[in-house]
Amino acid sequence: MVPEKKINDFVGRLRTAAGTNLESVILFGSAVAGDFHPEFSNVNLLCVIRDSSFFALQALAPVVKWWNKQKQPPPLFMTRDEIERSVDVFTIELIDMQQHHRVLYGTDVVQGLSIPADLHRVQVEYEMREKLALLRQHLLLASGNDSRLWELLLRSVSSFATLFRHALIALGHNAPAEKREAVQALSKQIGFDASGILQVLDVRERKSEPKNFNVGDVFSRYMAALEQVTATVDKMLDSGTANSL
């Protein structure tokens, strides 16, 4: 299901265009974690370059435009120094990269990074609260339109499942790589009704059809779970019951 040929084509084109400016290309995200879905998942790539100036990036633009025509988002382009100095602000992203990545070219620049546990916890809470607030905004705009409500559920569930996984990490528990297992593991740890989230994952994974559910009922349980998780994780982290990474 992962478009390996397109990925290899991209790496080859980038190596030709970048030459010695390219230090590393790293594949991360669902394509490595094992739950890639061709309809909803993106191919996530980190490209480490030595020179990030305007003219250096212009040389790479044709390759990135080609990649975009393959219906994939532009890769991340960063220098090694930027990555090393971003451990305090990209904690979730870098932990994910460390745990699930594949070096496609060059050196592994993420594995040895030291990521502050306290800042990871802050980012987990921030991301959960921000995404919950955004979900409420989009819910109001989609109200009364079942297809738009389902689209909102299907587009948001991956991000929330990732945050559930990081909530487990922040609370000092083992965190499964796959989204469904992470949701179930957090539900077991803090006790919330995960049925709405799991039903959305069923539809996303083509295990069920939207017509089998009442979208209002699913959305209600989905929202209630997100609110409970956000509040509970916040209280547990503030009370000091979480363990260190």
Query: Range with the lowest mean pLDDT among 3-12, 104-113, 173-182?
Result: 173-182
Residue 112 lies in a domain: no
Q: 47, 92, 93: which is closest to 73 by C-alpha?
A: 47
Average pLDDT, rounded, for the chain? 94
Residues 134, 234: one domain?
yes
> What average pLDDT does the segment 6-17 reach?
98
Residues 124, 198: one domain?
yes
Can you tell me the distance from the alpha carbon of 60 to that of 181, in angstroms, rounded to the nearest whole number? 38
pLDDT (0 to 100) of residue 238: 79
Specify the number of domains making up the chain: 2
Q: Which of 78, 106, 134 is a domain's end point?
A: 106
Residue 73 lies in a domain: yes
Residue 111 lies in a domain: no
Task: State the residue range of the domain holding 129.
Answer: 117-239
Q: Which of 67, 86, 106 is a domain's end point?
A: 106
Instruction: Report the percentage of the chain scoring pLDDT > 70.
Output: 97
Residues 200, 234: one domain?
yes
CATH number at residue 93: 3.30.460.10
Q: Which of 106, 136, 151 is a domain's end point?
A: 106
On the question of pLDDT at 112 being above 60, the answer is yes
pLDDT (0 to 100) of residue 51: 98
Q: Where are any strands of DSSP class E within the chain?
A: 22-28, 44-49, 76-78, 101-106
pLDDT (0 to 100) of residue 240: 63
pLDDT (0 to 100) of residue 1: 84
For residue 46, name the pLDDT band (cuts at 50, 70, 90). very high
CATH number at residue 229: 1.20.120
On the question of pLDDT at 241 being above 60, the answer is no
Reported as a single tens digit per residue, the pLDDT across 180-234 is 999 999 999 999 999 999 999 999 989 999 999 999 999 999 999 999 999 988 8
